[in-house]
Structure formats: C-alpha cells, structure tokens
Amino acid sequence: MVFLGPGLLLLFLFVIFPAVQTLFLSFQNKDGFAGLTNFVNLFRDEAIWNPARFPTKVPPWGALLHNLVWVCIHLPLTVGLGLVLAVVFAKAPRWVGFARSALFLGIVTPMIVGGVIIRYLFEAHSGIIPQILGALGVPKPWSSGWMAYPETALLGLILGSIWLWVGFSMILHSAGLSSIDPELFEAAQIDGASEWAQFWYITVPLLRPVTIVVAVLTLFWELKIFDIVYVATMGGPGRASTVLALEMYFAGFRALDPYRASAIATLITVVSVPLGYWFAVRRLRA
C-alpha cells in the first residue's frame, strides 16, 4: 500500500476527481441542480444530433452521428489494412522496410501536424487528391478543396486520418505475427493450403487478441477525435465535420459554458464505455 499510495494519489487527483467533477457539473446549470436538462438540450441541438438529414442529405448530421460515421469507416479500414500490411511486409523483401517506416510515420506525427497535412492534401490548388481527381475528370466538389465543401469535409478527414493511424495497427499486428509459431504455416504448406487459407485459418484466428486490442484502442481514438478536426476544418463548413470533442471544446472555451461542455464529455464517456466493454471483455471471452 505504501508503494501504491503515491500512484493512487496522483490517479485520484488527476483522473478520478476531475471525472467526478465533470459528471457533477453535467447535472448542473448556473442556477444549481438541473437534472437531465443539459442532456435533453444536447439531443435537441442539431449541432449534436441531427438524424433527420442522415443519410439522404449532405452533412451536417450532428457531432454524435459524425463520430459514429467515423467509427464505421475508419475502424474497419485501419484495423483491416493494418493486418493486411503486417502480413504483406512480413513476407516482403527487406527493402520494403522503407515503405513500412513511411506508414509508421503517421503514428509518430503529432496529430496537429497531421491535421495540417490533411488540410493541404485535400486543398484545391496544392492538394494531390483533388488534382488527381480533377485530371481524371471527376466533377466538383471531389476535384476541389475537400475541406471547403460539406459533402467532402468529413470523408476527407476520415480518409486522411487512416494514414495517421494505420501504422499503429500495422505495428501491433506485426508484433503479433512474430509470436505465431512458423511450424503452423509449414505444416499447412505441406498439407497444400493456399496463401489465402493460411491467412484466413491460421493468421487471422491467432492474431484475434491483438486485433481486438487494436480495435478497442482505435475505437476510443475515434470517439475522442479532436485535434485533426480542429486544425483542418474547425468542424465546418456549417458544422459538416464537427465531432463531439470539438463541440465540447467550443462549449467550454468559446461559449464559456462548463455545464454543456461537461454534459458532452459525459456523453462521450457514456458512448465509449459500453462499446469498449463489449469489445474488450465479451469478445475476448468469446
């Protein structure tokens, strides 16, 4: 206990106390106890929840739905791509290490810098993506500045962030691959198993614990995403790419409303915890 004491004290001061304080504030307003009012107001606010436009009209769909769209696109692509790249690089010649380093660069790049890169990657005049699409004859807004248009801003952020995060998934899967006994693959080859069969029946099942960890951490990253969006679009245009953490920031530091900001923080936690629990505990047991 003596050894645990300092750590527990720091944990209490910097994690537990602020979390409890935030929870407390989310049920308050400037006049005192407000019950669930802050949460009801969040779901009445189209900046947070605007399902009437989803999916038939262009964004904004509300920050909560934007986060969920982020999860639906970004999670399978980064986890899946990371797994495939890990397998490909494990079998590729040594010089391919350069490509692996380039991919890993995304994860060591500060996200603020990543946001700037994404912004310029999709910029109308200097961005490579609009330039390529323009050369192929693709119409606006796809061949124009993606961050300027509501149709493309959210998707541009999500696609751009795949490079920033896929290195994480690739490295963890690479570490997992190195722990699989090579004899399993040799036995499969002797039995005539194809490359695909080896991947599907040996690699994927044995990497499952790693994949779940990657998926859980990626999910949390997506639900608290802030810096990339702040730098690249500030949630715009017209809230078309806003996310929960950004709305929390605007409530806290622009509207100077700590109660609404705390309610959004609590909402992020409420969304994250069950999903994280489901992934981490139930899937692992299964």
Closer to another protein by CB, 76 or 238: give it: 238
Q: Is 124 in the site for another protein (CB under 8 A)?
A: yes
User: What gap in Å lies between CA 268 and CA 14, rounded to an integer?
Assistant: 19
Closer to another protein by CB, 146 or 168: give it: 146
Among 243, 251, 264, 267, binds another protein (CB under 8 A): 251
Which residues, in sequence order, are bridge partners of residue 28?
A: 33
User: What gap in Å lies between CA 273 and CA 19, rounded to an integer?
Assistant: 14
Closest by CA position to 194, among listed 20, 213, 203:
203
Among 44, 125, 282, 285, binds another protein (CB under 8 A): 125
Q: Is 249 in the site for another protein (CB under 8 A)?
A: yes
| Selected range binding another protein among 140-148, 177-185, 187-195, 271-279, rule: CB under 8 A | 140-148
Closer to another protein by CB, 185 or 249: give it: 249
Q: Is 155 in the site for another protein (CB under 8 A)?
A: no
Compute, in degrees rounded to 10, the torsion defined by CA atoms 232, 154, 111, 76. Answer: -170
Closest by CA position to 146, among listed 136, 155, 158, 135:
155
Q: Is 144 in the site for another protein (CB under 8 A)?
A: yes
Q: Smallest distance from the beta carbon of 162 to another protein, in angstroms?
A: 24
Write the CA distances from 59 to 13, 41, 66, 146, 223, integer angstroms: 40, 21, 8, 13, 18
Number of Cα atoms under 13 Å in the Cβ half of residue 106: 23
Q: Smallest distance from the beta carbon of 2 to another protein, in angstroms?
A: 30
Binding residues among 228-247 for another protein as defined by CB under 8 A: 234-240
| Selected range binding another protein among 64-72, 148-156, 213-221, 268-276, rule: CB under 8 A | 148-156
Closest by CA position to 117, among listed 41, 32, 199, 227:
227
Q: Is 254 in the site for another protein (CB under 8 A)?
A: yes
Closer to another protein by CB, 221 or 250: give it: 250
Type of residue at 106: G
Closer to another protein by CB, 171 or 240: give it: 240
Closer to another protein by CB, 230 or 279: give it: 230
Among 73, 84, 90, 148, binds another protein (CB under 8 A): 148
Q: Smallest distance from the beta carbon of 96 to another protein, in angstroms?
A: 36
Q: Is 176 in the site for another protein (CB under 8 A)?
A: no
Residue 238 sits at the vertex; the CA angle it makes with 53 and 218, to the nearest 5 degrees, is 75
Beta strands in the chain (DSSP E): 28-29, 32-33
Q: Is 117 in the site for another protein (CB under 8 A)?
A: no
Environment class of residue 9 by beta-carbon count within 10 Å: exposed (0-12), middle (13-18) or buried (19+)?
A: exposed
Positions that interact with another protein (CB under 8 A): 123-126, 141, 144-145, 148-150, 234-240, 249-251, 253-256
